[in-house]
Amino acid sequence: MSETEAPVVSTAVQTAAKPAKKKEEESFIAFLLKLVIFVAVLRSFIFAPFSIPSESMLPRLLVGDHLIAAKWSYGFSYRSLPFSLPLLPSERILADTPARGDVVIFRAPPVGDTDYIKRVVGLPGDTVQMVDGVLLLNGTAVPKVRIADFEVPVSGNTRCYSRAFAAKLSDGTDVCRYPRYRETLPEGRTYEVLDLGPRPQDNTDPAIVPEGHVFLMGDNRDNSEDSRFPAEPGRGIGMVPMDNLVGRATVMMWSTDGGAAWLKPWTWFTAARWSRIGGTF
């Protein structure tokens, strides 16, 4: 082959390579689009992550917990979509009623983009009241039994409400120690609550849950803005429309005490609350 023919072969190879490269790029873009659609569908209709920002659900949930919520449990509305995109109706489709005791994620009234998490204690038609710190459903007291105090280590995510609840374990660990009780709903479902002592919210007027709504409460009864209070910023959430439900808490995905630092990889492991990971609701 002469030297003058070499460039012709090289040009032919380059010309053939261009369509192959373009095809690879188009395949990669198509893969990314499919991945985005898959994640969007998964996030909108199947599962969604949720992080715990406050202590209103102590002792079950701690600040720094990260859980997975099942999105299909109660049906779908535009609130099921990321950023509440108006691609679905405001009323739920495939709607289902939660059970008493469910831990639910919802958009608090008035409807916004902020997710909240509380426990369902009252369903449509129920009369809910608090009397001296005891929950009454339809005039009957929900059994409340004192059990061992709840102890949570002081950390970057946890501080005691007051010095009265500060304690120290035998190994020198600083903890917050709170009075803990077990409640049992009429259906036999049990869960634990905290009661820090007499508070104004320990006594409320009877409230009838309207149709299409639920009565929600935090397990940390003295530190929860819930359905005992009117739906006003900084006060409470009132009765929550079921159309505002986003999902049901299902499994603990991750938990950290707040002691991790990005530039110190070993702290990613020491800050993890390993015993909490994998817990179900």
Confidence at residue 11, expressed as pLDDT on a 0 to 100 scale: 57
Q: 172 vs 2, which has greater pLDDT?
A: 172
Q: What is the pTM of this model?
A: 0.84
CB 246 within 8 A of CB 79: yes
Q: Which of 63, 54, 276, 58 is nearest to 179 (CA)?
A: 58
- The average confidence (pLDDT) of the chain is 88
Hey, which residues are catalytic here? 56, 118
Here the CATH number for the domain that contains residue 192 is 2.10.109.10
The encoded tokens of residue 123 equal 């369903």
pLDDT tens track for 137-152 = 999 999 999 999 999 9
pLDDT attached to residue 75: 87
What local confidence, expressed as pLDDT, does residue 94 receive? 84
Residue 18: per-residue pLDDT: 63
Which is nearest to 227 in space by CA: 89, 127, 86, 99? 127
Decide if 3 is inside a domain.
Answer: no
Residue 269 lies in a domain: yes
Residues in a beta bridge with 185: none
Residues 154-205 pLDDT 10s? 999 999 999 999 999 999 999 999 999 999 999 999 999 999 999 999 999 9
Q: What is the pLDDT at residue 41?
A: 72
Structure confidence at residue 82 (pLDDT): 72
Q: How far is residue 270's CA from residue 135's CA, in Å, rounded to a whole number? A: 39
Residue 108: what pLDDT? 84
**Is 225 inside a domain boundary?**
yes
**Number of domains, the chain:** 1
DSSP code per residue over 80-135: GSGGG-TTS-SS-BS--PPPTT-EEEEEPSSP-S-EEEEEEEE-TT-EEEEETTEE
Domain extent, residue 239, equals 46-276
The reply to whether 33 falls in a domain is no
Task: Evaluate whether residue 228 is within a structural domain.
Answer: yes
Q: What number of other Cβ atoms are within 10 A of residue 56's Cβ?
A: 22
Integer Cα distance of 129 and 139 in angstroms: 8
Is the residue at 68 inside a domain?
Answer: yes
Q: Please tell me the predicted confidence (pLDDT) of residue 272.
A: 96
Q: Is residue 30 part of a domain?
A: no
pLDDT tier for residue 26 given thresholds of 50, 70 and 90 = low
Does 10 fall in a domain? no
What pLDDT digit, counting tens, does each position of 83-131 carry?
A: 676 777 778 888 899 999 999 999 887 656 688 999 999 999 999 999 9
